[in-house]
Amino acid sequence: MIAIACDHAGIDLKPHVIAVLEELGIPYTDFGTHTRESVDYPLYGARAARAVASGQCERGIVMCGTGVGIGMAAGKVHGIRCVTCTDTYSAKMSRLHNDANMLALGARVLGSELAKDIVRIWLMTAFEGERHARRVGMIDRLDRGEALE
């Protein structure tokens, strides 16, 4: 189950993200927003992020105008490693090396076809583990307020 959410500025990208999820046969839960009425992106980033952090959803995809604000908000939720992506290479590497569990996209930045490629690659790439697991573990220690050295 993938959590998806957006603000008013991200709403035009949402149907394209849903199209990729449907193409891949991946179920999703849509945490809103559902209209173009102006809303505050942290609310929606947090709703999707809390669904991922609680285990209700395995991963999440959030959208706003730039992908920056909603990604920042999602990343503040304990347990979330959210990447804002504007290219397919970073999308792939964020899974292989960083085990990103949320992806943020900017509807005012990306064309729909590039956004769909980013989503496909991000969804289909698995974490490599091994030495990267140690480093992701260090990120998680930072998330818990622990010292690294």
Whether 64 is catalytic:
yes
Segment contacting ligand RB5 (CB under 6 A): 59-67, 83-91, 113-121, 122-130? 59-67
Decide: is 66 part of the binding site for ligand RB5 (CB under 6 A). yes
d(CA 121, CA 90): 10
20: which 2 tokens?
Answer: 């990729």
Backbone angles phi, psi at 2, to 5 degrees: -110, 130
Segment contacting ligand RB5 (CB under 6 A): 17-25, 64-72, 76-84, 95-103? 64-72
Whether 85 is catalytic:
no
Of positions 52, 69, 91, 100, contacts ligand RB5 by CB under 6 A: 69
Say if CB 2 and CB 30 are below 8 A apart. Answer: no
Residues near ligand RB5 (CB under 6 A) are 7, 9, 41, 64-66, 68-69
